[in-house]
Amino acid sequence: MTMRKPMVAANWKMNGSDALAKEMLSALASTNLNELDVLICPPATLLHAFANSASCVLGAQNLSEHTAGAYTGELSAALLAAAGARFVLVGHSERRTLFAESDQALAGKMQQAIEHGLTPVYCIGENLQQRQQEKTGQVLAKQLAAVYASHPEFLAKSVIAYEPVWAIGTGEAATPEQAQQAHAAIRQQLAQYDSKAAAEVRVLYGGSVNSKNAAELLSQPDIDGGLVGGASLNAEEFLHICLSAKG
């Protein structure tokens, strides 16, 4: 069996402060979390607060699909890497829905990230209507194919995050069985592109992960950690989730 190092990622979205960054770093430094990777994705203005930390790795929440140029307000992969980021979220459901990011644009962002040494955390997931219509498998397959069908080599350089859109920010997490079923289906789909990488790639669960449900969710065989939203804004709660992933 392939051993995959667990990862717990914090997505602060458009929240946070220098004070919260200091509190989070203090909490992480107080505990031995060597057995897992802790990833913090703060707003771009707070990247500096985590850039030299030994307690976590740093990620950005978004990047441009362009290398450089006249794109006011955008941040390139090179700029993010220079700011200390090693990972970057790509295709979060809020980017797909609120900002209408297309599969084509996301494939471009994946390419930019990998070309500049960033590890993309590629987010996929179905909405409530798609789940009710039993289209979860089709939706996940389409979102994976948008990137890996044309670039199977990207898979070995990625992290995948499964985030059922209907469970994000709603307090409604998928059951451990539902989450495991989706994660297993993702790995099976990925095996069509690169079977070795599919067995080794980390697939995280994101969707109202909190200290109460983390242990049961993160103990599933195909779930390699969590992408945590609201609960990551509380240092004590986030640390509890990290300890759950550590096992």
Q: Which residues are catalytic?
A: 92, 163
Residue 38 in tokens: 């802790």
Q: Which residues participate in the annotated binding site for substrate?
A: 11-13, 169, 208, 229-230
Q: Which residues participate in the annotated binding site?
A: 11-13, 169, 208, 229-230
Start-to-end Cα distance in the chain: 18
Q: Hey, which residues does 59 pair with through a beta bridge?
A: 87
Q: Hey, which residues does 187 pair with through a beta bridge?
A: none
DSSP symbol at 244? H
DSSP symbol at 46? G
Contact 110, 122 (CB under 8 A): yes
- Count of helices and strands (H, E) across the chain: 11, 8
DSSP symbol at 68? S
Residue 205 in tokens: 């669960």
